[in-house]
């Protein structure tokens, strides 16, 4: 079998990998649950390639992510649920329907108007899905029909916080400015301090979560995505810590040899050095 730019070849490869008698033993053993973590990981690797501006890596990582789609579709086909073509049919139908200003007669003079139409059509689709479940004799209330239930649980926690807040904001459940959120953050810090002083580990965990949620809310009001901001800080920490490691190595020493005071001094040097070379 030879490589090809045709999606059909990738579908053929996946079918061969999953063939019961001649396929790959590892691929044959997988199911939706075992593959899902890889799907999430590949999406993160796509984002990482974008953040690094590496187009070669982005090309490869997009291929890896596409493989995940083909993988899930193949398993669904084996179970008799749907095929890859049905996935394509579903997304093309959705994109055409949700862009009447592009594929129909509607007008959208701004990105905000376009987003508003998208949300309206999405809400209508949700109602149609609920009616379809009722028609099949299923209880729609067992399928996450609460207003916030459409926000996937599988999202990273910071991202899910943002999505939950954004949806609540659409119906007016929101502060109108950053300052009240700052006040809420101070309140949550006070409650966390109280939990810590009481020695209640469970309460401290809960209050810590409340504080993180409030910080995400502040970021939203400042138009700062918490996940992206934290990713930037993570990388900054890694670079500064590597500076410490390099300086110690230049002096024939290791991280294990250094005291906290020495590492703190090098940390401050790292901040100054990297700021000058930014």
What are 166-204's pLDDT values in tens digits?
999 999 999 989 999 999 999 999 999 999 999 999 999
List of residues 6+ apart from 31 with CB closer than 8 A: 75
What is the predicted pLDDT for the residue at 273?
85
Instruction: Kindly state whether residues 215 and 234 are assigned to the same domain.
Output: no
Distances (CA, A) of 177 to 1, 13, 182: 59, 53, 9
Q: Is residue 151 part of a domain?
A: no
> What domain range includes position 112?
98-145
Same structural domain, 46 and 14: yes
Name residue, tokens 């594929």. 103
**Chain centre to alpha carbon of residue 13:** 28
107 lies in a domain?
yes
Same domain, 39 and 103: no
- Same domain (yes/no): 3, 28: yes
126 in Cβ contact with 119 (< 8 Å):
no
Nearest-angstrom CA–CA distance, 199 and 205? 11
Tell me: do 8 and 86 sit in the same domain. yes
Are 162 and 247 in a shared domain?
no
**Boundary-marking domain end, from 49, 66, 92:** 92
Residues 6+ apart with CB under 8 A from 106: 100, 117
Query: What is the DSSP-derived secondary structure letter of residue 223?
Result: T
In contact, 45 and 52? CB cutoff 8 Å: no
pLDDT (0 to 100) of residue 125: 84
3-state secondary structure 110-140: CHHHHHHHHHHHHHHHHHHHHHHHHHCCCCH
Whole-number pLDDT of residue 141: 59
Q: In whole angstroms, what is the distance from residue 100 CA to residue 106 CA?
A: 5
Cα–Cα distance for residue pair 269/111, rounded to 1 Å: 45
Question: Is residue 172 domain-resident?
Answer: yes
In this structure, are 15 and 59 located in the same domain? yes
The pLDDT tens digits of the residues spanning 88-122 come to: 999 999 999 999 999 998 888 899 989 888 888 98
Q: Which residues fall within 8 angstroms of residue 6, CB to CB, at 6 or more apart?
A: none
Asked if residue 144 has pLDDT above 70, the reply is no
Q: How confident is the model at residue 216 (pLDDT cuts 50, 70, 90)?
A: very high
Please tell me the total count of domains within the chain: 4
Mean pLDDT of 209-228: 95
Same domain, 220 and 245: no
Q: Work out the number of other CB atoms within 10 angstroms of the CB of residue 10.
A: 19
Handedness of CA 215, 170, 167, 210 (dihedral sign): positive
How many whole angstroms separate alpha carbon 113 and alpha carbon 116?
A: 5
Cβ neighbours of residue 207 closer than 8 Å, sequence gap 6 or more: 188, 191, 192, 194, 195
Three-state DSSP at 113 gives helix
> Which tokens hold the place of 140?
């729609």
- Is the pLDDT score of 265 beyond 90? yes
């Amino acid at each position: 079998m030879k490589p090809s730019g045709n999606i059909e070849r990738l579908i053929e490869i996946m079918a061969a990998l999953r063939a019961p008698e001649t396929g790959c033993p590892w691929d044959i053993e997988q199911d939706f649950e075992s593959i899902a973590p890889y799907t999430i990981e590949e999406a993160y690797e796509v984002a990482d390639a974008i953040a690094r501006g590496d187009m070669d890596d982005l090309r490869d990582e997009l291929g890896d992510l596409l493989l995940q789609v083909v993988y899930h579709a193949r398993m669904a086909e084996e179970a008799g649920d749907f095929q890859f073509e049905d996935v394509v049919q579903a997304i093309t139908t959705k994109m055409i329907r949700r862009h009447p200003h592009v594929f129909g007669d509607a007008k959208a003079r701004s990105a905000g108007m376009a987003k508003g139409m998208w949300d309206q059509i999405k809400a209508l689709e949700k109602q149609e899905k609920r009616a379809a479940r009722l028609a099949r004799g299923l209880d729609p209330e067992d399928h996450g029909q609460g207003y916030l239930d459409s926000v996937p649980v599988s999202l990273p926690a910071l991202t899910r916080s943002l999505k939950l807040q954004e949806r609540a904001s659409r119906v007016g459940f929101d502060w109108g400015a950053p300052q009240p959120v700052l006040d809420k953050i101070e309140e949550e810090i006070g409650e966390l301090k109280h939990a810590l002083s009481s020695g209640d580990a469970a309460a401290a965990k809960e209050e810590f979560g409340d504080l993180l949620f409030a910080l995400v809310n502040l970021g939203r009001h400042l138009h700062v995505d918490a996940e992206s901001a934290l990713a930037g800080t993570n990388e900054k920490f890694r670079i500064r810590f590597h500076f410490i490691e390099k300086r110690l190595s230049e002096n024939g020493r290791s991280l294990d040899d250094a005291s906290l005071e020495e590492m703190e001094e090098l940390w401050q040097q790292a901040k100054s050095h990297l700021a000058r070379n930014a």
